[in-house]
Amino acid sequence: MEKIRVIISNQQKAVKIPTGIRMLIRRCCHAVLQLEGFKDSAEISVSFVDNDQIQEMNRQYRNIDAPTDVLSFPMGENGQYDTNHETGAKILGDIVISVPKAMEQAKTYGHSFEREMGFLTAHSMLHLLGYDHEAGGLARVRMREKEEQVMRELGLPASASYATYNRE
């Protein structure tokens, strides 16, 4: 794997970002790309927002007037990506995470904030690489297996409560 650039910006003030979260996000992006055998240099943008900001984006881009945990904006299709002409890196896309929603979900699911942020990042990275769980079935199962494999590799395995909730 070539060089991976993860550009992280904090655009919210609702939750103080704990030490180590930015490194976790970078490690998660690397782990997904490694799992998928992505060989090129890559760029990923990750933005931390609050519930109002993500609700507005969800309304604007998905016609859903409600906050959500994470949004993915892929820049490629069928393995073809835009290229940063200065660096030659493939621009995979943007990840937008609602930090307050991640904090709330960590409590709901009974695991750490770190695991929730890692999970949302892995989930979104797989979307950037073309995975889609919306139709359910085998595609959803494969995506969930890959998310959990990345979480285990990062030392953030699922809690016993994992099987009792249904994520959308």
Name the residue ranges covered by the structural domains of the chain: 4-157
Residue 1: pLDDT over 70: no
Give the pLDDT of residue 163: 38
Cβ atoms of 67 and 98 within 8 Å: the answer is yes
Q: What is the mean pLDDT of residues 71-80?
A: 89
Cβ atoms of 48 and 64 within 8 Å: the answer is no
Q: What is the mean pLDDT of residues 33-50?
A: 96
For the segment 110-121, what is each residue's pLDDT rounded down to a tens digit?
Answer: 999 999 999 999
pTM comes to: 0.90
- Indicate the CATH number of 4-157 among 3.40.390.30, 2.60.120.1440, 3.90.330.10, 3.90.1150.10: 3.40.390.30
Range with lowest mean pLDDT among 29-43, 65-79, 89-103, 123-137: 123-137
> CA separation (Å) from 64 to 54, 57, 58, 59, 83?
11, 9, 6, 5, 31
Give the pLDDT of residue 168: 45
Query: With bands split at pLDDT 50, 70 and 90, how would you rate the model's confidence at 8?
Result: very high
Query: With bands split at pLDDT 50, 70 and 90, how would you rate the model's confidence at 159?
Result: low
Cβ atoms of 151 and 158 within 8 Å: the answer is yes
Average pLDDT taken over every residue of the chain? 90
Percent with pLDDT over 90 in the chain: 79
Nearest to 167 by CA among 95, 113, 116: 116
Q: Which residue has the tokens 């409590």?
A: 107
